[in-house]
Structure 1
Amino acid sequence: MKRLFMIVIVMTMLASCGVERGIPSTTLEEPSSGQSSAQDNRNVLYYAESNFPLIDVVKSSFNQQDMTRIFLAENKTIEDVANELLEHVKSKPIEVSQNTGEKQVLVYDNYFATLTKDPNNESNTFLEIATYGFVRDNYQPDFFDGLLVLWLLDEVLDVDDWGKKQKKRCTDSGENCYRTYGNIGGGFKGPVGQPSLRGGSSNVRGGGPGTGK
């Protein structure tokens, strides 16, 4: 009887230890909201992902790793969104184009942030965050007329005479080049089969041409 009693005591102790091992640790703390916010604000893509709904992603016709992500800023004008980015994104743009009322572009170290009106609801704004490679290989150069000077695009995209070369590619592909999500939508195919324009003499990758207009 005494032996049976000791066995019960030992089994009870082992079961107790097992339960304790299953209790989640309370020493690991989640980052505070302030820490998370600071992380999200470090560049324009993080900020967009944290503050606007992502509605689509369009991949480059040349390199699938290059893409533009489309976010929707509801009930905000182009000016509202541009001011929000300039105020809250820690990384400042290399260049800020004028706002034409229909479009505006902010060029950052690694991304183009393009603002256009939502054609289906003019109270909303599309915010597109595109990699340099997506802009270089897919955008219609005429889109930047009145926004960014050609020499700046040559430097940032690292292609001599980018506008001239890309215009030829667009023409050769039947004008199937990108003009923002509001004009092209998610069915964009791009200048498929056209060679890359990478390989100019410039080495600028942000921070050089100035701080914007």
Structure 2
Amino acid sequence: MCKKKLYYIGFLFLVMLLSACSSRGMDGGAITAQDLPSEPPKADITATIQNSSNYEMDDIIEANFPKVTTVEGDGSNAEVYATTRFNLSELSTLLTDTIKPDEISDVKNDQQILIYPNEFITLRESEADNSVLLIEVASDEFVRRNYSPNFLSTYFALRLLDDVLDVDDWGKRYKGTYSGMGGLGTPSRGNTTFRGGGPGTGK
């Protein structure tokens, strides 16, 4: 009887371990080309985006790239998409030529942020596979409540962020810890956590 119990406990432990590995695999930084469904050719995606009649960048991204995860934040969620068809420079140029953003950051640490009305679009290579470009779409509300001021201030002046997020002294009033793409950490406001130590599922 004791032996059976030990086998059962061992089996449960194995299932829990495999589940934990699966959750970590959904972290934006852990996405590889094998995790993505088949994509149309680059020329087709480019033509579709350039000829889009939609003027909302979040809708354009959702229509053209596979979603890999959803990040649950305080008050709202962010969506992370991915592609193997473009590098950062190519996709940044395509998106900004299609709809001009209000602000464009410099590329730092292989990452760039585009600010559109009501949303932040972040482009970054996957840490696990540099052939995969990650695309995070986060609303102003998500950024305001969850993003780390220290992180964002490396891309934009805090005064500019105060204006964009419509909060005086945003960096002092909000103390989020999130730095993009389902990275580990939890927002410091409210009761929200990022499931699995990072993003939730979302494929």
Match of 1:190 in 2: 187
Q: Which amino acid aligns with 2:60?
A: Y
Deviation, structure 1 residue 141: 1.2
Deviation, structure 1 residue 87: 2.1
| Superposed CA offset, 1:90-148 (max 9, x none) | xx211011112521111001110011221111122111110000000000112223311
Match of 1:148 in 2: 156
CA RMSD in angstroms comes to 2.2
SS state at 1:152 partner: helix
1:64-79 counterparts in 2 under 5 A?
A: 66-79=76-89
Deviation, structure 1 residue 45: 0.6
- Structure 2 distance, partners of 1:179, 1:152, is 18
- Structure 2 distance, partners of 1:87, 1:150, is 26
Match of 2:181 in 1: 181
1:45 aligns with 2:58: yes
SS state at 1:146 partner: coil
- Structure 2 distance, partners of 1:87, 1:70, is 21
Number of aligned residue pairs: give it: 143
Deviation, structure 1 residue 165: 2.4
**Does the Cα contact within 8 Å between 1:138 and 1:190 map onto a contact in 2?**
yes
| Greater relative contact order (Cα < 8 A, sep 6+) | 2
1:82-101 counterparts in 2 under 5 A?
A: 82-89=92-99, 92-101=100-109
TM (normalized to structure 1)? 0.61
Match of 1:206 in 2: none
- Structure 2 distance, partners of 1:193, 1:46, is 28
| Superposed CA offset, 1:164-205 (max 9, x none) | 222xx34xxxxxx21112533xxx6422437xxxxxxxxxxx
**Does the Cα contact within 8 Å between 1:118 and 1:182 map onto a contact in 2?**
no
Question: Percent identity of the aligned residues?
Answer: 31
Deviation, structure 1 residue 50: 1.4
Unaligned runs of 5+ in 1: 1-32, 171-176, 195-213
**Does the Cα contact within 8 Å between 1:57 and 1:69 map onto a contact in 2?**
yes
**Does the Cα contact within 8 Å between 1:78 and 1:101 map onto a contact in 2?**
no
* Compared CA separation, residues 182 and 68, structure 1 to 2 (3 A): closer
SS state at 1:181 partner: coil
Unaligned runs of 5+ in 2: 1-46, 192-203
